[in-house]
């Protein structure tokens, strides 16, 4: 099949049936065909697969395609074979006959494209096989999966760099969602010997209408959106598996053909759902993000998010599954305070280092900025990806511009409260200060004496919450992972604080805040949620190290009490329900460090007494230091061992004779009276 002399345009027409390349495709095809290392960032639905499939036909040997989803591989292999191209996939979903057909094509030197799941790269047999069959190119689809902190990280993608070194062949990597940081990580992982040629194609999908809406009876909102598009294929993304099942049932009861899909389903059930969606017109699939990365159905007419996506990259990729045929498509994304709280906690409970979590909070801020945008959503979205755009006329804000107001004064009050409290508190406490609510915590910290106390009484609490949310959307403030979610100002907030700049806010989301339904009941109050997330992250880290269930370390109730009481010492930690002596010894210092940011270095004997006589131990230690040279300071030095002091604390002798049996006569003579007095006071 390979023929370097044949013009790519001829194969484009003959094999793929297209008269012309889409914008940007031709130069990428040329670079890949010529064997240059390539990284192409192309919009979802922009024709990425053609950019490695066509070069595979122009190059000698086999092109290996690393792809993350079996469904995608099977669809592409089926389409290539239908076009007369020898292609095959080795996946866990193969039948024996399918696998044998692939091996036969390899033995006969007929195979041009071999699709592999990244997990296959862990097999020595796979690497040996690839070394024998004449691989001339490695194509990496969904290359952002190599990013360890990305939303679709696949650990086996990290093996691609080793494979490339072993085979000594060029790599062509493709993705639709990669900001500058992710691009840098892709290059470091896949191209360690030198930067590839990069192609950054426009992210605009002008046929997709963008819309966001604050949650207000979200099930009704989704049903209404679907009803207006009855008979059209659509996807509804949900944040939980349970919601996919209940919402798909509600859609069926409303007369829509609908199925659910999530990662907890059996593999056969997932494959059946994927096949049904590909083949059945007008079907709605209600799914978690486990569905869709490899779905290539061209006529999906709408995508709705029943819950806020994880990031702006995830949002872009998920809406990009609509309208791949270029015809008009529509989207709707619902969001609410509980979504934002959930996403924040997921970031805080992750095991990423603090600087990465801070960056992830910034990404979530960007998504909030899109949700609460003041002007054209498409322009806001494209700016995030480094492109400039004017009003599109194809989003809800272009359809009906929002009502706005000068929010400079409110934002300056909020920033002042953050600054005057040292950037050590979350929005809940700051709103108490602004609204003049003298809570116990406000009084304890002396914050009722701040100049900002009560300056924001013109807005009610829900309205201030909306202001803080919009401030995050403008990336003026971010939660600080090192301070358990305390709000920290960014550099772009300083001109507003100093009166050098102004800011416009949306009035509709402020007004909506007044009538919004009560928030979902959470495990702890808003101020303690970031600390609870940090404690859960530490528990998860320890559990993974030990290969044990998380609850074996501490159960949720214990972590909740830690977050609420914030013990500042191991003695206080020992008083938390569920922290026994053994767990205190094993985990106490670790979890105390999460709460206080410092470690408490105690003698092992003292550690065992934490919460059970630790104060008495400390008092006896102080007394023996005072009496080290006797009561008048002139006697020979004498002291007690930590073990002896601990034994005194445990036995609590009531008279001189009992104390002498523990300490011996000389030490009992020097320390006895003082020790007995301390024991009596502690009783």
- Distance, in Å, from the CA atom of 233 to the CA atom of 325, rounded to the nearest integer, reads 13
- Distance, in Å, from the CA atom of 600 to the CA atom of 520, rounded to the nearest integer, reads 37
653 has pLDDT over 90: no
Cβ atoms of 587 and 567 within 8 Å: the answer is: no
Give 436-486 pLDDT, tens digit per residue: 999 988 998 999 999 999 999 999 998 999 999 999 999 999 988 888 888
Q: What is the DSSP letter of 253?
A: H
Label residue 352 exposed, middle or buried (CB < 10 Å: 0-12, 13-18, 19+): middle
Q: How far is CA 592 from CA 277, 348, 541, 565, in A?
A: 50, 17, 15, 12
Give 170-201 pLDDT, tens digit per residue: 999 998 776 777 888 899 999 988 889 999 87
634 has pLDDT over 60: yes
- Distance, in Å, from the CA atom of 426 to the CA atom of 429, rounded to the nearest integer, reads 6
Place 396 in a pLDDT band, splitting at 50, 70 and 90.
very high
Sign of CA dihedral 10, 14, 16, 17: positive
Q: What is the dihedral of CA 415, 416, 417, 418, to 10 degrees?
A: 50
pLDDT for the residue 151: 56
> Could you tell me which of 178, 32, 15 has the C-alpha nearest to residue 86?
15
Cβ atoms of 285 and 236 within 8 Å: the answer is: yes
Cβ atoms of 610 and 601 within 8 Å: the answer is: no
Place 603 in a pLDDT band, splitting at 50, 70 and 90.
low
In which element (H, E) is residue 364 found? helix 354-371
Q: What is the DSSP letter of 22?
A: P
Place 605 in a pLDDT band, splitting at 50, 70 and 90.
low
Give 61-118 pLDDT, tens digit per residue: 999 999 887 777 887 888 788 788 999 998 877 888 888 989 899 888 899 999 998 8
**Cα R_g (the chain), whole angstroms:** 32
Place 292 in a pLDDT band, splitting at 50, 70 and 90.
low
3-state secondary structure of 601: coil
3-state secondary structure of 571: helix
Q: How far is CA 332 from CA 322, 359, 398, 603, in A?
A: 12, 26, 15, 59
Place 290 in a pLDDT band, splitting at 50, 70 and 90.
confident
pLDDT for the residue 260: 95
First to last CA, the chain: 92
Axis-axis angle for helices 180-190, 160-167 (nearest 10): 40
Kindly report each contact of residues 544-552 with a partner whose C-beta sits within 8 Å and lies 24 or more positions away, as own/partner: none
> Could you tell me which of 226, 229, 211 has the C-alpha nearest to residue 315?
211
Task: Name beta bridge partners: 285.
Answer: 235, 259
Give 656-677 pLDDT, tens digit per residue: 888 888 888 888 878 888 888 8
Share of the chain above pLDDT 90, in %: 36
Mean pLDDT of 537-555: 84
- Distance, in Å, from the CA atom of 623 to the CA atom of 618, rounded to the nearest integer, reads 9
> Could you tell me which of 278, 363, 341 has the C-alpha nearest to residue 70?
278
Axis-axis angle for helices 461-473, 354-371 (nearest 10): 110
5 has pLDDT over 80: no
Query: What tokens does 526 get?
Result: 């808003």
> Which residues have C-beta within 8 Å of that of residue 54, sequence separation ≥ 6?
8, 11, 12, 15, 16, 29, 33
- Distance, in Å, from the CA atom of 64 to the CA atom of 173, rounded to the nearest integer, reads 12
409 has pLDDT over 90: yes
3-state secondary structure 46-82: CCCCHHHHHHHHHCCCEEEEECCCHHHHHHHHHHHHH
Place 28 in a pLDDT band, splitting at 50, 70 and 90.
very high
Cβ atoms of 173 and 28 within 8 Å: the answer is: no
1 has pLDDT over 50: no
Label residue 498 exposed, middle or buried (CB < 10 Å: 0-12, 13-18, 19+): exposed
pLDDT for the residue 521: 43
pLDDT for the residue 602: 65
Query: What tokens does 443 get?
Result: 């009084």
Share of the chain above pLDDT 70, in %: 92
Query: What tokens does 253 get?
Result: 């009861």
> Could you tell me which of 462, 430, 456, 461 has the C-alpha nearest to residue 445?
430
β-strand pairing of 329-335 with 62-66: unpaired
Axis-axis angle for helices 408-420, 461-473 (nearest 10): 90
- Distance, in Å, from the CA atom of 209 to the CA atom of 206, rounded to the nearest integer, reads 8
Place 607 in a pLDDT band, splitting at 50, 70 and 90.
low
The per-residue pLDDT of the chain, averaged, comes to 85
pLDDT for the residue 523: 62
Q: What is the dihedral of CA 360, 363, 365, 367, to 10 degrees?
A: -140
pLDDT for the residue 4: 44
Query: What tokens does 124 get?
Result: 């020595």
Task: Name beta bridge partners: 210.
Answer: 395
Residue whose pair of structure tokens reads 């008979």 in the numeric block: 231
> Which residues have C-beta within 8 Å of that of residue 537, sequence separation ≥ 6?
348, 349, 350, 351
Query: What tokens does 279 get?
Result: 């083949």
Query: What tokens does 366 get?
Result: 């960007």
In which element (H, E) is residue 242 found? helix 241-253
């Amino acid at each position: 099949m390979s023929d370097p002399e044949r013009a790519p345009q001829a194969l484009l027409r003959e094999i793929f049936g297209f008269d012309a390349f889409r914008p940007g495709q031709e130069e990428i095809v040329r670079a890949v065909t010529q064997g240059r290392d390539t990284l192409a960032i192309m919009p979802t639905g922009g024709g990425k697969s053609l950019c490695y499939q066509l070069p595979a036909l122009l190059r000698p040997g086999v092109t290996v395609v690393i792809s993350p989803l079996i469904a995608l591989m099977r669809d592409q292999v089926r389409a290539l074979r239908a076009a007369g191209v020898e292609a095959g996939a080795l996946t866990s979903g193969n039948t024996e006959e399918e696998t044998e057909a692939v091996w036969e094509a390899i033995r006969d030197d007929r195979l041009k494209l071999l699709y592999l799941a990244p997990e296959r790269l862990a097999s020595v047999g796979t690497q040996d096989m690839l070394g024998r069959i004449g691989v001339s190119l490695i194509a990496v689809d969904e290359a952002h999966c190599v990013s360890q902190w990305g939303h679709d990280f696949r650990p086996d993608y990290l093996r691609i760099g080793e494979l490339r070194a072993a085979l000594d062949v060029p790599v062509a990597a493709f993705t639709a969602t990669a900001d500058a940081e992710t691009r840098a990580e892709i290059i470091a992982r896949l191209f360690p010997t030198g930067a590839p040629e990069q192609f950054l194609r426009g992210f605009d999908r002008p046929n997709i209408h963008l819309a966001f809406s604050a949650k207000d009876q979200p099930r009704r909102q989704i049903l209404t959106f679907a009803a207006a598009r009855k008979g059209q294929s659509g996807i509804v993304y949900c944040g939980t598996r349970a919601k996919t099942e209940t919402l798909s049932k509600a859609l069926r009861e409303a007369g829509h053909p609908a199925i659910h899909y999530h990662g907890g389903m059996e593999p056969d059930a997932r494959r059946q759902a994927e096949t049904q969606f590909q083949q059945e017109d007008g079907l709605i699939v209600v799914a978690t993000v486990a569905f869709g990365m490899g779905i290539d159905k061209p006529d999906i007419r709408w995508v709705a998010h029943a819950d806020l996506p994880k990031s702006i990259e995830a949002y872009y990729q998920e809406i990009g599954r609509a309208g791949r045929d270029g015809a008009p498509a529509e989207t709707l994304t619902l969001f609410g305070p509980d979504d934002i709280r959930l996403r924040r906690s997921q970031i805080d409970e992750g095991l990423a280092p603090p600087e990465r979590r801070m960056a992830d909070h910034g990404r979530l801020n960007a998504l909030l900025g899109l949700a609460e945008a003041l002007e054209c959503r498409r322009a806001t979205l494209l700016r995030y990806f480094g492109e400039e755009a004017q009003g599109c006329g194809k989003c809800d804000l272009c359809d009906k511009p929002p009502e706005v107001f000068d929010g400079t004064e409110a934002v300056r009050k909020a920033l002042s409260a953050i600054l005057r409290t040292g950037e050590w508190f979350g929005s809940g406490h700051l709103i108490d200060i602004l609204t003049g609510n003298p809570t116990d915590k406000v009084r304890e910290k002396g914050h009722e004496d701040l100049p900002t106390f009560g300056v924001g009484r013109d807005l009610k609490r829900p309205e201030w919450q909306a202001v803080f949310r919009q401030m995050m959307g403008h990336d003026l403030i971010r939660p600080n992972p090192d301070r358990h979610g305390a709000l920290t100002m960014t550099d772009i907030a300083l001109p507003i604080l100093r009166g050098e700049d102004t800011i416009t806010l949306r009035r509709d989301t402020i007004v909506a805040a007044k009538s919004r339904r009560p928030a979902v009941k959470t495990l702890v109050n808003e101020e303690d949620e970031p600390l609870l997330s940090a404690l859960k992250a530490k528990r998860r880290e320890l559990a993974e190290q030990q290969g044990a269930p998380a609850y074996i370390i501490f159960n949720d109730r214990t972590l909740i009490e830690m977050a609420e009481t914030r013990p500042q010492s191991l003695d206080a930690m020992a008083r938390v329900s569920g922290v026994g002596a053994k767990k205190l010894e094993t985990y106490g210092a670790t979890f105390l460090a999460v709460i206080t940011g410092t470690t408490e270095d105690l003698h092992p004997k003292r550690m065992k007494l934490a919460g059970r006589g630790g104060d008495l131990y400390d008092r006896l230690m102080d007394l023996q230091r005072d009496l080290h040279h006797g009561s008048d300071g002139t006697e020979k030095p004498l002291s007690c061992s930590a073990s002896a002091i601990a034994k005194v604390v445990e036995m609590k002798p009531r008279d001189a004779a009992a104390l002498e049996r523990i300490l011996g006569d000389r030490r009992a003579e020097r320390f006895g009276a003082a020790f007995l007095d301390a024991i009596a006071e502690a009783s």
